[in-house]
Amino acid sequence: MTKEHANWSPYDNNGGSCVAIAGANYCVIAADTRMSTGYSILTRDYSKICKLADKAVLASSGFQADVKALQKHLAAKHLIYQHQHNKQMSCPAMAQLLSNTLYYKRFFPYYAFNVLGGLDSEGKGCVFTYDAVGSYERVGYSSQGSGSTLIIPFLDNQLKSPSPLLLPAVDAVTPLSEAEAIDLVKTVFASATERDIYTGDRLEIVVLNADGTRYEYMELRKD
Amino acid sequence: MESNQAKPGLLCNPDASQRTLYPYVTGTSVVALKYKDGILMAADMGGSYGSTLRYKSVERMKPIGKHSLLGASGEISDFQELLRYLDELILYDNMWDDGNSLGPKEVHNYLTRVMYNRRNKFNPLWNSLVLGGVKKGQKYLGMVSMIGVNFEDNHVATGFGNHLARPILRDEWHENLTFEEGVKLLEKCMRVLLYRDRSAVNKLQISKITEEGVTISQPYSLKTFWGFSAFENPTLGAEGSW
């Protein structure tokens, strides 16, 4: 007999896009605030950005319940780290922790697509980009989530990052000023919102620099 | 030789393990909104056995502790089990006798963890839950799904309500709704659901939670109108059908 009752999946895709751009002395991390399921919008004001440490900010899309569990786990680990070392975790350390945390659940993965942005020990911008099972890479800019297929080629075209194959290695940080990077982020989200139904409503931008952390918001299309 | 082929019951004994694979008796949409003094919530009293309307007096909204109100759609028995968990939670919290009590935010977070934990065990509670409450002047309204997806908003609705009621709420909701305006808005939503959701029934309750506590209304019906000419003879103009 064909099944005629409801069935369930332990996963859902709640959509959303994340972007991070690293500069010489800043890092911009951004994500939209729409949360969807299928063709329905659940809420128009859900933050996908989580400030894990003074100099490490995580933006995640995918399955909201997994993302929340991941954020809580990392926050708890960071609290223990502070008690043991009496300092904030660095962004590269948080990056390795996130990778290990994701791989720990390799065979029942967190359905979460992460971009981690922050400042390294020299105050230089850094961006780490992940897949759901923990493969990660340090890059100059990145995008993850439902709109990433629209955003990445645009960033590639505008930022012309040096090939990672070059020897000696060339720094991956973008040549843009902080204000230019913020403008670029606003543009890519406005564009992605036009075509990606899972991206929209509002844009949340976090800017990290030597002065600290700053939040900015921009309205996006709500259709 | 022992075969190393997976045998049924090798990893889990099918006799010892029982889990919800699909729901039996289900309730349909719950709709809720914030208003001036607190939260208003509406749900009908139907309990469907598949597509059969099996029960007609199911209470799907219950007070939790002093400051919260829980509404549920989905499997009724899972909801009733959840109420037993919550009764114990509130009881043990009371036994501290320290004058503190769990607020809606805490209860919502607890529900979130229960739902997500059960999905991790591949044994979900088959519900969409709405939790509203007021504590220390703070209004709270949130939702949790079967697999642990959760959020807060000014108005929420489960199931069909998300398709049919929320567009109305997005149009007409505002921060300073009075009690009367709130009830009118909820009734408008419930009427649309009654007309378009086949498992909705015309017997509902509206509940209110404010700083003063929970009030759940007696069951009542909405006024409906079925006398449209298109309803009188539905096969007119469809010649050749039976």
State how far the Cα of B104 lies from the Cα of B67, in Å rounded to an integer: 6
Provide, as residue numbers in chain B, all residues whose Cβ is less than 8 Å from the Cβ of A7: 21-22
**pLDDT of the residue at A164:** 79
Q: Is B22 helix (H, G, I), strand (E, B) or coil?
A: coil
CB contact (8 A) between residue B149 and residue A6: no
The 3-class SS string of B92-126 reads HHHCCCCCCCCCHHHHHHHHHHHHHHHHHCCCCCC
For residue A6, give every residue at least 6 positions away whose Cβ sits within 8 Å of its Cβ, in sequence order, or none.
B22, B23
Q: Give the right CATH number for A17-219 from 1.10.150.120, 3.50.30.40, 3.60.20.10, 3.30.230.10.
A: 3.60.20.10
Alpha helices in chain A (DSSP H): 64-85, 91-104, 148-159, 178-195
**pLDDT of the residue at B2:** 47
How far is B11 from chain A, CA to nearest CA, in Å?
16
**pLDDT of the residue at A7:** 87
Looking up tokens 């209304």 gives B217
CB contact (8 A) between residue A6 and residue B22: yes
Give catalytic status of residue B52 as yes or no. Answer: no
Among B14-23, B68-77, B218-227, the minimum mean pLDDT is found in: B14-23
Tens of pLDDT, residue by residue over B53-81, are 999 999 999 999 999 999 999 999 999 99
Q: What ipTM goes with this model?
A: 0.92
Q: Taking residues B24-38, what's their average pLDDT?
A: 97
**Pairing of the two strands A141-145 and A40-43:** unpaired
**pLDDT tens per residue across all 223 residues of chain A:** 566 777 899 999 999 999 999 999 999 999 999 999 999 999 999 999 999 999 999 999 999 999 999 999 999 999 999 999 999 999 999 999 999 999 999 999 999 999 999 999 999 999 999 999 999 999 999 999 999 999 999 999 999 888 878 888 888 899 999 999 999 999 999 999 999 999 999 999 999 999 999 999 999 999 9
Best probe of the B interface among A3, A14, A66, A111, by most B CBs < 10 A, is: A66
**pLDDT of the residue at A194:** 98
Structural domain boundaries of chain A?
A: 17-219
State how far the Cα of B110 lies from the Cα of B102, in Å rounded to an integer: 10
Distances (CA, A) of B9 to B2, B19, B117: 15, 14, 23
Does residue B121 or residue B7 have the better pLDDT? B121
State how far the Cα of A91 lies from the Cα of A93, in Å rounded to an integer: 5
How far is B143 from chain A, CA to nearest CA, in Å?
10
Chain B residue closest to A65 (CA)? B149
Task: Please name the member of A35, A42, A65 whose beta carbon is closest to the beta carbon of B147.
Answer: A65
For residue B84, give every residue at least 6 positions away whose Cβ sits within 8 Å of its Cβ, in sequence order, or none.
none
State how far the Cα of A172 lies from the Cα of A127, in Å rounded to an integer: 10
Chain A residue closest to B120 (CA)? A10
State how far the Cα of A91 lies from the Cα of A52, in Å rounded to an integer: 9
Looking up tokens 């933050």 gives A47
Best probe of the A interface among B149, B170, B199, by most A CBs < 10 A, is: B149
**pLDDT of the residue at A85:** 98
User: Which neighbouring-strand residues pair with A118?
Assistant: A56, A126
CB contact (8 A) between residue A63 and residue B149: yes
Exposed/middle/buried for residue B96 (C-beta within 10 Å: 0-12, 13-18, 19+): exposed
List B20, B28, B52, B210, catalytic entry: B20
Chain A residue closest to B125 (CA)? A8
pLDDT band at B6 (very low <50, low <70, confident <90, very high): very low
- H/E element, B55: strand B52-55
Provide, as residue numbers in chain B, all residues whose Cβ is less than 8 Å from the Cβ of A67: none
Distances (CA, A) of B232 to B196, B224, B228, B236, B238: 17, 15, 7, 9, 14
**Residue among A169, A218, A185 nearest A26 (CA):** A185
Q: Taking residues B166-195, what's their average pLDDT?
A: 98
Q: Indicate if the pLDDT at residue B230 is higher than 80.
A: no
CB contact (8 A) between residue A42 and residue B126: no
User: Which 99-138 residues of chain B touch chain A by CB within 8 A?
Assistant: 112, 116, 119-120, 122, 124, 126
Looking up tokens 């393990």 gives B17
State how far the Cα of B174 lies from the Cα of B164, in Å rounded to an integer: 18
CB contact (8 A) between residue B126 and residue A45: no
For residue B172, give every residue at least 6 positions away whose Cβ sits within 8 Å of its Cβ, in sequence order, or none.
B185, B188
**Pairing of the two strands B30-35 and A125-130:** unpaired
**pLDDT of the residue at B20:** 74
Cα B215 to the center of its chain, rounded Å? 17
Task: Number of A to B CB contacts under 8 A, please give it.
Answer: 54
How far is B218 from chain A, CA to nearest CA, in Å?
30
- Tally Cβ neighbours within 10 Å of residue B21: 13
For residue B69, give every residue at least 6 positions away whose Cβ sits within 8 Å of its Cβ, in sequence order, or none.
B39, B41, B61, B62, B63, B104, B131, B132, B133, B207, B209, B214
What is the CA angle A145-B125-A37, rounded to 5?
25
Q: Indicate if the pLDDT at residue B7 is higher than 80.
A: no
Let me know: does A143 contact A117? Beta carbons within 8 Å. no
Chain A residue closest to B26 (CA)? A6
How many residues are there in chain A? 223
Provide, as residue numbers in chain B, all residues whose Cβ is less than 8 Å from the Cβ of A40: 162-163
CB contact (8 A) between residue A43 and residue B153: yes
Let me know: does B172 contact B185? Beta carbons within 8 Å. yes
